[in-house]
Structure 1
Amino acid sequence: MSWTCGTCYREFVSYRSREQHINAVNHNYPTHECDRCCRFFGSRSAVIQHMNDCNHWRYDCPMCDETWPTMEQVKEHVINYHRHCTPCNRTFANSNAIKMHLNSRIHRGTDIQCPFCKQCYTSATGLSHHLETGSCPQAPFIDRDAIYKLVRSKDPSGIISKNLIDWKPSSRYEATDRAWNGAGWECYFCHRAFNTRHGLNHHLNSPVHQQNLYHCPNRAGCGREFTSFAGVMNHLESESCGFTRFEKVQNGFRNIISGDRLIGF
């Protein structure tokens, strides 16, 4: 094996001796040299083909024999192929599990802040649920209906919200004694039974049986509809339909909550 000077084409028995020569006489390395071996080529496409064929890229995967042109590609390979989180040294059963882990507060922190009570959340889904359920102590007037009106005002083109001409505010329900079926408190709509009347009331007044207000912006490839803003945010954050990335969802959500820009993903 010999190493060639890219200027005078003199050959050397080792990489080190060639390096000393190049530094001493101000010569250059071959333009299209393999990252791993001493071979060089007449074009960039030729050396790329060689490195692909021989697995001769510069950076090694720590979990297999694959090599990659950049460390960023190694990291993506470890996550997507091996489903392994290197900082936590954890391997996951499937791609969805590792995505959820990487998008959790362990790696994302809590930088989505409620504009009213200043409580912080990891994702748009968390803050959406906080507001839609009326859980914010500083803004009890904010609920599912108020969020829908806000989103509609920022989404005139209906990217994620449905333009419902016949839209009416969410219905409120209260279970009566007739909901008791002898074994549990039964939902009139879905016949699911609950241990307590409070549990049934909570279920009845959740978005479960309400009108769909939102849809996935990937209408051609997905088309799913959702009863809550938190639902469509969670769907987009999961990247399950491939329409957008987690980071873009967070940026779009910030514009809805605190900015004056229209919705866009």
Structure 2
Amino acid sequence: MTYCSRCNRSFNSWPAYYQHLRDSPNHWECQPCQQDFESRLGLKEHYVQSPRHHYCQYCNIHFDCSSELQDHYEYEHAYCSSCHKVFKNELGLHEHNRQSHADVYCVLCKRLFQTPSNLQSHLNSSIHRPKDTICPFNGCGLGFINKSALILHLESGSCRSGVNRRVVDNWVRANDRSNAITNPARLITAGERANIKLIATEQSWNGQAYECVLCHTQYRALMDLNRHLDSPRHQEKVYRCPLDTCRKHFVTLSALCQHIESERCGVMKFRAVRDVMDNLLNGVARMTL
């Protein structure tokens, strides 16, 4: 004789008792765990909380492993993978991200970033900032989101005016008389090479590729090697951050400008430094050939 205390019933055999467990509304059994629950809700909570089960309570689906459940959440539900939380809809997820991940979440784009600096770069991009810094040269008129983007445009040689990196560098050398953003010690050696253009020929072929004699980097095409030689790769880092506690050096003016605009060292907090930088950068933007 087998007795069910929950239902206050007796059974003549074990098969009859097991049949009762399967059919009775008072018994909700998890067979893999051999646990019996009083309600469907209790069984469901067991599925959700037990590490042995990989269960989606929203779809009432069991999965073979945790990675399959994770994929299901990400593709079928409003899911925060950082917090391992599922939300009723996308609006719920959006509000969660806005409040809990504000340092890495773009509210307008509803997009998460890995780091706060990545978010800041996104917010400083043309997606969120107008291209209201206009190239001043006749025949160009392209717009950029900030001064560093404009200077990079000039350094690249893509401006219709014909301005390139050498023109920009020579202008700064001539106008930064107080060496606010240039290192005079490095200008001495760099100035000797400032107007020298390195050009590779077919003699750069080493039998397998075109090789740079300065750094031994190899290229498949001669054009790529010459593009490398014309880049700032082998130039002196003549530009430096004007903040005494930073003094980080850069090869190009645009790189220095990006460093300042990023506010990583706090240089823009100082009025005197801002005035010097604004005068120089505005001068570059207004320079004529």
- Do the structures match in fold with TM over 0.5? yes
> Are residue 216 (structure 1) and residue 241 (structure 2) matched?
yes
Whole-Å separation in 1 of the counterparts to 2:264 and 2:228: 26
Q: Following the alignment from structure 2 to structure 1, what is the Cα–Cα distance between the partners of residues 105 and 278? A: 27
Q: Does 1:93 align with 2:114?
A: yes
Identity %: 33
Task: State the Cα distance separating 1:124 from its structure 2 match.
Answer: 2.0
Q: Kindly indicate which of the two structures has a greater share of residues assigned to helix.
A: 2
What are the within-5 Å matches in structure 2 for residues 100-115 of structure 1?
100-115=121-136
Residue pair 1:170, 1:210 contacting (<8 A) in 2 also:
no
Question: Which stretch has the larger CA shift, 109-118 or 210-219?
Answer: 210-219
Tell me, yes or no, if the aligned pair for 2:136 and 2:286 is still in contact at 8 Å: no
Superposed CA RMSD in Å reads: 3.1
Counterpart Cα distance in 2 of 1:118 and 1:63: 43
CA separation in 2, counterparts of 1:123 and 1:253? 15
Query: Structure 1 or 2: larger strand share?
Result: 2
What letter is aligned with 1:88?
Answer: C
In the alignment of these two chains, the number of paired residues is: 183
Task: Write out per-residue CA displacement over residues 18-77 of structure 1, whole angstroms, 9 at most, x where no aligned residue.
Answer: xxxxxxxxxxxxxxxxxxxxxxxxxxxxxxxxxxxxxxxxxxxx54898xxxxxxxxxx9
SS in 2 for 1:156: coil
What runs of 5+ residues in structure 2 fail to find an aligned partner?
1-94
- Cα distance in 2 for partners of 1:176, 1:240 equals 42
Partners of 1:101 and 1:214 in 2: CA distance: 26
1:83 is aligned with what amino acid?
V
Task: Provide closer, same or farther for how the CA distance between residues 258 and 209 of structure 1 changes in structure 2, counting only shifts above 3 A.
Answer: closer
d(CA) in 1 for partners of 2:278, 2:128:
17
Decide which of 173, 176, 194 is 2:219's aligned counterpart.
Answer: 194
8 Å Cα contact 2:155-2:164 kept in structure 1 = yes
Q: Give the corresponding residue for 1:48.
A: none
How many Å separate the matches in 2 of 1:143 and 1:206?
Answer: 11
TM-score, length-scaled by structure 2: 0.55
TM-score (norm 1): 0.60
Q: Which amino acid aligns with 2:154?
A: L
Instruction: Work out whether 1:157 is the aligned partner of 2:178.
Output: yes
Per the alignment, residue 230 of structure 1 pairs with 254
- Alignment equivalent of 2:150, drawn from 101, 122, 127: 127
Q: Per the alignment, do residues 83 and 171 of structure 1 end up closer, same or farther by CA in structure 2, a change over 3 Å counting?
A: same
Shift of 1:143: 2.4
Relative to structure 1, the CA distance from residue 165 to residue 86 in structure 2 (aligned partners, 3 Å threshold; closer, same or farther) is same
**By how many angstroms is 1:241 displaced?**
2.7
Aligned to 2:228: 203
Q: Gaps spanning 5+ residues in structure 1: where?
A: 1-61, 67-76, 261-265
